[in-house]
């Protein structure tokens, strides 16, 4: 049986053969396996590739042990917690760690010299009734790009690209980051394009945080960023301006493109805690399934409370919910 491999496979295979860095070679091998059609004609190819992946993982683990270091692949993946995971990336001294320190209970190492952050650090940011996971990362520059960042960025729900308004090279620094990521097939976008389904690429919804806004009283620097990164949302921040931090928290929530739905028992008052988190556009049935799949199967209808709705309005399972809606399920 012919393998019938897609054209993208052969291009990716050439990159895999040319690549010498083990961590990147492992990532490419995993991508090859993910886009390979699964049928009898590819059984041998699948087995060979799985063997190569196992050997690469063993090599990476062995390298870490031989150097007395922590496991090399430890930073490649950070489990998602809370309502969503957002990764912060930026050039050296762009202010990522200061913001993570302010927004979460994490305590990153902060310094006024480049490359203070050496490894990723997570923190949970409170936003009204939910928590959002933020990941502080080592800086990206022409001289430095930690290989594990590709895995972290691909896994994250969204990206915050930091730009330092105090830096004379802020535009070049940001472009360097987006260009390096594009070389690794990670595309930062203001909005996701559902028509782009090439499995080799990872498209990430992104906004720009223009930090240290006190360095831009005229707004000219923000204007330059807007011209360079057309259509991207730009949020100006300062750690000494509470209003700007509040705007940032709201944007971090909005970039996730999720809705919070609260549930209540029949005939009882609602407690606005522990909401069901759904992608924007989710339905009543999705909310029920998030509680339990059997519960969704037994659902007859629901009553809903929320902005623009009649209190207790009866809705069916395909009704689209909005952020802050309250549902009362009837089975």
Which residues 6+ apart lie within 8 Å of 211 measured at CB?
Answer: 94, 95, 99, 162, 163, 164, 165, 236, 237, 238
Q: What is the rounded distance in angstroms from the CA atom of residue 296 to the CA atom of residue 330?
A: 10
How far apart, in whole angstroms, are the C-alpha atoms of residue 241 and residue 283?
38
| First vs last C-alpha separation in the chain | 50
Round to whole Å and give the CA distance between 158 and 156: 6
How far apart CA 8 and CA 14 sit, in angstroms, is 10
Q: For 76-254, CATH number? A: 3.40.50.300
* Per-domain residue ranges of the chain: 7-72, 76-254, 258-330
List average pLDDT for each run of 10 residues in the chain, which is 331 residues long.
Answer: 76 84 81 83 87 85 50 64 96 91 76 61 94 95 88 93 95 96 93 71 94 92 96 95 96 97 92 94 95 88 91 94 95 88
For position 197, what pLDDT does the model report?
Answer: 63
Q: Are 122 and 135 in contact (CB under 8 A)?
A: yes
Q: What is the CA radius of gyration of the chain?
A: 23
pLDDT score recorded for residue 201: 85
Q: Which CATH superfamily is domain 258-330 in?
A: Beta-grasp domain (3.10.20.30)
* b/e burial code for range 207-225 (CB count within 10 A of at least 16 → b): bbbbbbbeebeeeebbebb
Question: Which residues pair with residue 303 across a beta bridge?
Answer: 314, 328
Cβ atoms of 302 and 328 within 8 Å: the answer is: yes
**pLDDT score of 225:** 97
What DSSP element (H or E) covers 279?
Answer: strand 276-279
Query: What's the confidence (pLDDT) of residue 75?
Result: 61
Q: What is the pLDDT of residue 67?
A: 45
Q: From CA 12, how far away is CA 28, in angstroms rounded?
A: 7
| pLDDT of the residue at 73 | 43
Judge residue 168's burial from the number of C-beta atoms within 10 Å of its C-beta, 0-12 exposed, 13-18 middle, 19 or more buried.
Answer: exposed
């Amino acid at each position: 049986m012919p393998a019938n491999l897609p054209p993208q496979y052969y291009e990716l295979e050439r990159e895999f053969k040319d690549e010498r860095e083990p961590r990147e070679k492992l990532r490419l091998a995993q991508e090859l396996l993910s886009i390979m059609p699964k049928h009898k004609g590819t059984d041998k190819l699948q087995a060979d590739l799985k063997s190569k992946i196992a050997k690469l993982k063993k090599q990476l683990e062995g390298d870490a042990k031989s150097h007395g270091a922590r496991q090399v692949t430890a930073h490649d993946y950070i489990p998602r917690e809370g309502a969503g995971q957002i990764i912060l990336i930026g050039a050296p001294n762009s202010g990522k760690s200061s913001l993570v320190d302010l927004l979460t209970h994490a305590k990153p190492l902060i310094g006024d010299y480049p490359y203070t952050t050496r490894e990723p650090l997570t923190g949970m940011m409170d936003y009204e009734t939910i928590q959002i996971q933020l990941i502080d990362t080592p800086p990206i520059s022409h001289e430095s790009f930690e290989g594990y960042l590709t895995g972290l960025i691909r896994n994250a729900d969204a990206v915050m690209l930091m730009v330092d308004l105090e830096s004379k090279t802020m535009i070049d620094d940001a472009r360097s980051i987006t260009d390096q990521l594009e070389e690794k097939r990670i595309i930062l976008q203001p909005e996701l394009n559902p028509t782009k389904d090439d499995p080799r690429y990872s498209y990430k919804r992104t906004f720009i945080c223009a930090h240290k806004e006190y360095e831009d009283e005229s707004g000219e620097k923000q204007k330059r960023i807007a011209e360079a990164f057309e259509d991207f949302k730009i949020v100006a921040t300062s750690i000494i301006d509470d209003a700007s931090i509040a705007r940032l928290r709201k944007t971090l929530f909005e970039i996730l493109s999720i809705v919070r739905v609260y549930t209540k028992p029949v005939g009882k008052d609602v407690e606005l805690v522990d909401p069901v988190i759904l992608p924007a556009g989710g339905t009543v049935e999705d909310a029920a399934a998030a509680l339990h799949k059997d519960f969704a199967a037994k659902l007859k209808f629901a009553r809903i409370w929320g902005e623009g709705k009649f209190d207790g309005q009866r809705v069916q399972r395909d009704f689209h919910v909005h952020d802050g809606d309250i549902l009362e399920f009837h089975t």
